[in-house]
Copies of this chain bind each other. A is one copy, B any other.
Amino acid sequence: MLNLQKPLTAVIMAGGRGERFWPKSRTACPKQFLSLTDDSETLLQKTVNRIRGLAAPECIYIVTNKEYMPLVRAQLPEIPEQNLLSEPVARNTAPCIALAAAVIAKRHGSDAVMTVLPADHLVRHEALCADVLCRAASAAAESSAMFTIGITPAYAETGYGYIAFSRADHMPLGVYRVDSFKEKPDSETAREYVESGKYLWNSGMFVWQVQTYLDALQTHLPKAAEIAAEISAACDTPDFDAVVAEQFPKMPAISVDFGILEKAERLYTIPGSFGWDDVGSWPALRRVAKTDTNGNYRSGDIITVGTRDCVISGKNKLIAAIGLEHIIIVDTDDALLVCDADSAQRIKKVTDILQEQGRGELL
């Protein structure tokens, strides 16, 4: 299916903290290592399987925080140990991708095409997603531009960033120019975006040649480019771990969107529609997982009476929900969350309080 001159490489960013899924997601085992939708596979495993038809295990890289390496090893035994890259500290996505690019440049050559995928999203139609990634990889192999996967909006979501796009000359059919990025809009703006047909959701999936990314780093984050060069030189030498430990923390903590893409000149998007969802918070489970006839997501031993549009996640304990609407209930062994769905973003406030109280065992 994919016919590049070199094998495709993939970078899976798996260092997130998953705080918005507290109390099920914990610092010690965040969202990407869980199966939020009750399948047997975790979100990380799903992400690897997403790219497995396009990239061999030795071309798949996982970047994560060092404390999560045991989880990654346990969940992905097929990925070679040397492809598991550990960040000594969290520095957001631009440095995360720089670390992977540095290693891939050394091992696969700087003209290798890399796909970058977040580890904690869900895709309903995996085959359609693979097709779009495949087209993006082909385009990237022929060009030193950067490519981002855009998602045809299914509704006026306020929780996503949007991409304004327009027709591109000198590009294959189905590849569009990115005109600008838009922050998460209010609901009226979101409605306008969707109705206009001129905006896509920003999926956070990217494809480019390694050198293209390193060049962009050089232009927009020169300090990061310098460190990436040092890391690349040390790759597969006995110094590698020490260099990463010393240099990586000096990278500027910035996202690839803010640090690179918003400033990039040759940025294109390939729109796809494959049931993508970033599963950004508990209420999203009602979109991505099976619900009962009253629109309730339910996992565990649950009795509902006059209850609709709720997310209820428990384990063995019986949960009885009565007369509720639009409420999130998440029961774990040591913490219970009950939250209005519209207040799900305030979960952070609770974890902040626990932090202040020195109750890290609950985080």
- Which residues on A are within 8 Å of B, measured CB to CB? 23, 303, 305-306, 314, 317-325, 327, 329, 331, 333-340, 342-344, 346-347, 349-350, 353-354, 359, 362
Q: Is the CB of B321 within 8 A of A354?
A: no
> Shortest CB–CB separation between residue A216 and chain B, in angstroms?
40
Q: Can you name 29 A-B pairs with beta carbons within 8 Å?
A: A23-B318, A23-B320, A305-B349, A305-B350, A306-B346, A314-B336, A318-B334, A318-B335, A318-B336, A318-B359, A319-B335, A319-B336, A320-B335, A320-B336, A320-B338, A320-B350, A321-B339, A322-B337, A322-B343, A322-B347, A322-B350, A323-B342, A324-B327, A324-B339, A325-B340, A329-B336, A331-B331, A336-B336, A338-B338
Copies of this subunit: 2
Q: A343 contacts which chain B residues (CB < 8 A)? A: 305-306, 322-323
Point out the residues of chain B lying under 8 angstroms from A347, CB to CB.
320, 322
* Contact among B303, B333, B349, B359 with A322 in the assembled complex (CB-CB below 8 Å): B349
Q: What is the CB-to-nearest-CB distance from A223 to chain B, in angstroms, rounded to a whole number? A: 39
Alpha-carbon separation in the docked complex, A270 to B317 (Å):
48
> Separation in Å of the A361 CB from the closest CB of chain B?
10
Query: Complex Cα distance A362/B342, Å?
Result: 32
The answer, among B314, B323, B349, for a CB contact under 8 Å with A339, is: B323
CB distance from A328 to the nearest CB of B (A): 8
